Structure 1
């Protein structure tokens, strides 16, 4: 029956095509009243799913006359309007996509092209929009529409990049606009109602559970991380909407509340990836395929019972560093007998095949991290330990020490004396003949300070299996531009209560040539500092300060800035995939008992702690120059490039970052000035003002009273704000994300958990540290099972997708029809290519010791990758994607 229907469809299509001037090119105008065009889309049956049903039923719908229809909308001639309603552009005749039945789509290529022929009478005037209805059974992804010889335009190009669901799923018509940018006041009057309607549709009603075909962008608190119905140990506080736990907003899903807590939203089953985000924000089929392929290993929660059993019965601990290296050189050997049989019973074979490597008998074998590729032990040197604060995966927290000893900002009435116990006598022998005052005056003392941020949670953290400290690490800038660690202060809450302050111990490097127990203790002190930095990096530098803070900008832009708005066109590429990856993170990574809680030392307090730290977040401080000055790493100096003088000249993140920042700022400046001739133009832009108001009052609503928000009354405020948004979404995220596997894929270099305190003389642990320091070190840091989880996760996070779109690129060349904007964007790309050349030259300069370091790793995390047209995916360690997309 189905076959006969499809044959009938094909015959119908062939009959319909007769007399259609097939010998003419697709875009020829017939008789002066017909506009020919090409529509590029992707059918549902090729978007990662071989959906035969969709293909067959859609063809049947074609037979029944239910195709994909389009109507042009006039920008100059109105439809008759009812009293009190705004006039709208006149609709043209209905036309249908041609040859749907006979057009087959390659599963590899994905895209299909269709012809369209639209009758357009001259009395309709100039067309300015398209109305599209999908009368098929299934949705399709509409990429572009190109119309030729359009009266008043010539060629008219529509960049759609949107899912179009069957018409019965909508209470409104789908409208698409050409790629011309208009400020609200400059929009043709007859298109205004369509522009406004689209924004209303995207905002939704604010109620009800959202479905996959809904196109609604709305806000919610982080109230779905916990699962209180499973028990109190799975409950988590609501983040956002309170002074205690402020937080940026996330995308609303509208799921039902939990039974136990009406303020908490119910969660989907653990392994469900069908979390609502607006369909246009979902991964494309290439990205989704890449994510699934590499994500299988990060979803090893499926394997936890089996892996734990396997580890308990065999290795349990990494006894030697050779055991750790086996993860990369050999993997874990699959056990024979009942254990292997049980694993195969519990794990779907397709999943197991992904985990088994090419040798066929070992699984969970990881790529060799760059930090140990050239030298297996260079990561242990003091120079590399310090260098990674300038060129590692978290180069955004080191500050210049301007007061000695450092003073805590914690309230002494609550936490007692939390000031540092470091004194000059602790470090005098390592100061290269300088006094502390001389070092401070010459800008040569620096600190990595995680004391205050962690101390307030340390008592609760250490009540779990974790046993760690709040740390301060002191460093001296050497004559050769490198940093030398001077001391590490480890602090614990006072055993008699917080108001008594803390208990502090200062550790210093062993003297020249000294080894033995002093060296082993120092290595452990560095490990505790690295653990602090790893957790802070993952929770704050990475998750909070890029992923979480950007999501409200994504939501507000779609709710308040029309696709016609020039600022929407500017920012939209920098929001690609952000809502989707954040939703997946809430589902499987940052949720209660998720991968993050299992692998970083704050454990169940991780997200709560990030909310407390969000209290100190300042939007304007996210600008790189402001950040460097605030941390004391640079001072204003108009005689220097970018108006700043770096106090550590060889600071790779800052040197490369300032060039990227300047290039972004120049591009944004040139672009914004094309559309805003004066400050007045900014002030009267109704959509822009609504966008900025909603961002402050809702998206970052817990910060709405802060005085530091730009007022958005001047062109400079607009340029600075857009530059910050693009910087955070692209370069800052690249700097703190894509080096994770290179540095932390080898967990001893960046451990995430400590399981016991520094051993004291006279104890068995101290004796073990003397007799077998490697074993003692490994028993202190991240355990084997946590290592497997953590390394699996960061391998996925560090990979570039094969369809990545990098800074200076756009996945749609016709993203705007404005020639001046395209020219400015081309200059931006050329500037980024020049920056690439400079980075390559600096990485070859042997005088710049911080760029490569003892481990032999060139700093490429801010290498734009604009000149690489191959879109190389994987663990490249270079490239700045446009957006927070992983």
Structure 2
């Protein structure tokens, strides 16, 4: 008789253990073992966080172990078990590791391959080829594409969270309920008293301080004290929560009625507007995407409004970015019908014009920068990965930490947040039909290259903008991620030809292109290792760094509501000198919408319990030492970036930490 010692590792998550019966079959290069019941005492059977050793005896040696089959049968009731991994020690002393990291439901079976990553062309035996084919066919049945709304990126075919494949559902301690989070936020922020006055307007700007009673947030408090100042308004285009709207302006749009005479008092170099444009000192934020979008009409008692403003910004001689002209309408041809608001206008006109820009910015941030360009895009990558890459594929092993909970959080959002009559409809002016209209328009500008961070920076002409920490930190993180991806790709792909012959990676990028990102100029095939590195860097950077940059600052920058109104309840002013503070207060969100606004941005800005940050890979999908070495180097380089950012922040009035690697979660999970 020959004895194989099997070590079964159960996860540490809540409810990870099971008392069900688990059967195991070992498949070697020479023969298979009998189906063996992995049984121990009743109370020790697969307890949470344990490693259970079991001896499997066979009459003849099995050869090298290549597959492990697990079957789970009900003991008393339907149960789930989280198996981390299986390790097999052979009679000769060889060890074979089989990563699992999956939930196994009762009456299910799972077949695991040896942990060594292999490309599809590396599999030579019919047994391994068949296992690979069967695994992918099974996954393609589970992970089906569906168009949730016309013109949206494709998403998972599931109407509710409990319809999702078990392996992508939230774990017990992670389960997200937006309504529950909102109630918690209302309690924590002391908003209870506002609910009973849902449609009551605030009387004065200072009244918004009522909701700051329980806020202890240095950035929010700094915003509250300085939000009216033009330097703070301009600074947010660089390092606020939506730092992607500012672009260099070399030629003014035809619809923008701004003239030299209007802005000459704001230009401090003694140059004309045309000369400043040519010198590269003029920037613009253009919210054209909101033009023609129907404002939220879900509440029959409150009319809401949208605008599609231009905001002209000036880099002055002190390297500050300041607003110098705002136009809230865009009629063609430009002329007297387009009023341009200026810093020299009366206090109320200029204040309200800036509020309108910030309200437009809030809506574009929520629906385009945040929802579309991180959440929905990352879901496309995740679904394509599950459909086209076998678990043994090195790219699957590389990407799986970066798709963790993404499908689940997006499904929850479609159930409770962006659905008809969902939470977004309650407080956002682009809610209701506007959500679909904005996403449909934004899909026309969503391209593959726009997700490549360096190209995105170059295309907006902001390479030399001073004090642009989003750009500086983003470039550092992009290069470190790209270096890590390059190291991994070189380990498994010896040449460009290896990439071309990898049927699974080609199917993966094709699935992203044709099923998830139609007409978005995504590649439908990859020819070189360099192209593969860039593609995978886009996937990881979008899910980790880009999401962190535009998500976790929401409470910092949006909690002082006059700084970023989620909706406006009066139409934008068409002329100067016709608004007063009463009109402004009647324009801003009422008390009820203020509470919805604060509650949801608070909930979305929180790091999760047991958060895994960039480079933290506790699940050992890879077993190869070269990859482990690359991951160690990755973490070392990320730590160096963190150190650089921390040192820089010590000298800033408002520290910028959203792209500090120690605060970048691995995946879109909130």
Report the TM-score, using the length of structure 1 for normalisation: 0.70
Return the match for 2:23 from 65, 69, 73: 69
User: In the alignment, is the contact (CA less than 8 A) between 2:325 and 2:342 conserved in 1?
Assistant: yes
Name 1:797's counterpart in structure 2. Answer: 604
Secondary structure of the corresponding residue to residue 587 of structure 1: helix
| Greater C-alpha Rg | 1
2:624 maps to 1:777: no
The farther-off stretch of 650-659 and 476-485 is 476-485
2:375 maps to 1:547: yes
Structure 2: how far apart are the matches of 1:821 and 1:291? 38
Structure 1: how far apart are the matches of 2:137 and 2:295? 49
Structure 1: how far apart are the matches of 2:572 and 2:622? 60
Name 2:388's counterpart in structure 1. Answer: 560
2:504 maps to 1:504: no
Structure 2: how far apart are the matches of 1:810 and 1:118? 31
Name 2:281's counterpart in structure 1. Answer: 444
Can you list the C-alpha shifts for 1:701-755, whole angstroms capped at 9, x where unaligned? x32xx65526311111111100111111110000000100111122111111111
Question: What is the deviation of 1:180?
Answer: 1.5
2:98 maps to 1:166: no
Name 1:135's counterpart in structure 2. Answer: 73
Question: What is the deviation of 1:33?
Answer: 2.3
2:233 maps to 1:396: no
Structure 2: how far apart are the matches of 1:476 and 1:713? 43
Secondary structure of the corresponding residue to residue 399 of structure 1: strand
Question: What is the deviation of 1:282?
Answer: 1.3
Name 2:235's counterpart in structure 1. Answer: 387
User: In the alignment, is the contact (CA less than 8 A) between 2:10 and 2:46 conserved in 1?
Assistant: no
Distance 1:121 1:182, change over 3 A: farther
Return the match for 1:187 from 123, 140, 144: 123
Question: What is the deviation of 1:375?
Answer: 6.7
Name 1:218's counterpart in structure 2. Answer: 144
Structure 2: how far apart are the matches of 1:570 and 1:532? 38
2:331 maps to 1:524: no
Matches within 5 A, 1:396-795: 396-403=244-251, 405-407=252-254, 419-432=255-268, 433-450=270-287, 452-457=288-293, 465-491=303-329, 503-510=337-344, 518-604=346-432, 605-633=434-462, 646-700=463-517, 702-703=518-519, 709=523, 711-758=525-572, 766=579, 769=580, 773=581, 775-795=582-602
Question: What is the deviation of 1:373?
Answer: 2.6
Question: What is the deviation of 1:39?
Answer: 2.7
Structure 2: how far apart are the matches of 1:529 and 1:292? 29
Question: What is the deviation of 1:128?
Answer: 1.1
Question: What is the deviation of 1:99?
Answer: 2.4
2:203 maps to 1:319: yes
Distance 1:298 1:73, change over 3 A: farther
Name 1:144's counterpart in structure 2. Answer: 84
Secondary structure of the corresponding residue to residue 67 of structure 2: strand
User: In the alignment, is the contact (CA less than 8 A) between 1:455 and 1:493 conserved in 2?
Assistant: no
User: In the alignment, is the contact (CA less than 8 A) between 1:430 and 1:486 conserved in 2?
Assistant: yes
Question: What is the deviation of 1:291?
Answer: 7.3
Structure 2: how far apart are the matches of 1:659 and 1:739? 19
Can you list the C-alpha shifts for 1:130-171, whole angstroms capped at 9, x where unaligned? 10110123232323234253367733333212111122xx5x
Question: What is the deviation of 1:838?
Answer: 0.7
User: In the alignment, is the contact (CA less than 8 A) between 1:42 and 1:143 conserved in 2?
Assistant: no
Return the match for 2:657 from 840, 854, 860: 860
Distance 1:820 1:380, change over 3 A: same
Can you list the C-alpha shifts for 1:266-285, whole angstroms capped at 9, x where unaligned? xx7xxxxx442211111222
Question: What is the deviation of 1:760?
Answer: 7.5
Name 2:5's counterpart in structure 1. Answer: 35
Secondary structure of the corresponding residue to residue 338 of structure 2: strand
User: In the alignment, is the contact (CA less than 8 A) between 1:652 and 1:859 conserved in 2?
Assistant: yes
Name 1:126's counterpart in structure 2. Answer: 64
Distance 1:120 1:402, change over 3 A: farther
Structure 2: how far apart are the matches of 1:760 and 1:664? 48
User: What runs of 5+ residues in structure 1 fail to find an aligned partner?
Assistant: 1-30, 49-53, 78-89, 205-215, 223-237, 240-245, 256-267, 269-273, 330-365, 408-418, 512-517, 634-645, 846-851, 866-878
User: In the alignment, is the contact (CA less than 8 A) between 1:468 and 1:755 conserved in 2?
Assistant: no
Question: What is the deviation of 1:859?
Answer: 0.5
User: In the alignment, is the contact (CA less than 8 A) between 1:599 and 1:787 conserved in 2?
Assistant: yes
Structure 2: how far apart are the matches of 1:760 and 1:615? 30
Structure 2: how far apart are the matches of 1:794 and 1:372? 12
Question: What is the deviation of 1:310?
Answer: 1.4
Structure 1: how far apart are the matches of 2:247 and 2:449? 18
Can you list the C-alpha shifts for 1:214-271, whole angstroms capped at 9, x where unaligned? xx1111011xxxxxxxxxxxxxxx42xxxxxx22101002x6xxxxxxxxxxxx7xxx
The RMSD of aligned alpha carbons is 2.9
User: In the alignment, is the contact (CA less than 8 A) between 2:194 and 2:595 conserved in 1?
Assistant: no
Question: What is the deviation of 1:493?
Answer: 6.1
Secondary structure of the corresponding residue to residue 288 of structure 1: coil
User: In the alignment, is the contact (CA less than 8 A) between 1:98 and 1:115 conserved in 2?
Assistant: no
Distance 1:115 1:299, change over 3 A: farther
Structure 2: how far apart are the matches of 1:566 and 1:328? 49
User: In the alignment, is the contact (CA less than 8 A) between 1:97 and 1:114 conserved in 2?
Assistant: no
Secondary structure of the corresponding residue to residue 319 of structure 1: coil
Distance 1:788 1:100, change over 3 A: farther
Can you list the C-alpha shifts for 1:285-339, whole angstroms capped at 9, x where unaligned? 2222797863544799xxx9x9887116xx822223443222231xxxxxxxxxx
Secondary structure of the corresponding residue to residue 291 of structure 2: helix
Structure 1: how far apart are the matches of 2:73 and 2:22? 6
User: In the alignment, is the contact (CA less than 8 A) between 1:286 and 1:803 conserved in 2?
Assistant: no
Structure 2: how far apart are the matches of 1:420 and 1:309? 41
Return the match for 2:35 from 94, 111, 129: 94
User: In the alignment, is the contact (CA less than 8 A) between 2:247 and 2:461 conserved in 1?
Assistant: yes
Structure 2: how far apart are the matches of 1:459 and 1:750? 17
Secondary structure of the corresponding residue to residue 44 of structure 2: coil
Structure 1: how far apart are the matches of 2:336 and 2:501? 55
Matches within 5 A, 1:319-398: 319-329=203-213, 367-374=215-222, 376-398=224-246
Structure 1: how far apart are the matches of 2:387 and 2:576? 65
Question: What is the deviation of 1:650?
Answer: 1.7
Name 1:346's counterpart in structure 2. Answer: none
Structure 1: how far apart are the matches of 2:174 and 2:521? 40
Can you list the C-alpha shifts for 1:378-404, whole angstroms capped at 9, x where unaligned? 12211011001000000011100011x
Structure 2: how far apart are the matches of 1:793 and 1:71? 49
Structure 2: how far apart are the matches of 1:491 and 1:566? 52
Name 1:884's counterpart in structure 2. Answer: 668
Structure 2: how far apart are the matches of 1:535 and 1:616? 17
Structure 1: how far apart are the matches of 2:79 and 2:45? 16
Structure 2: how far apart are the matches of 1:762 and 1:221? 45
User: In the alignment, is the contact (CA less than 8 A) between 2:185 and 2:600 conserved in 1?
Assistant: yes
2:111 maps to 1:175: yes
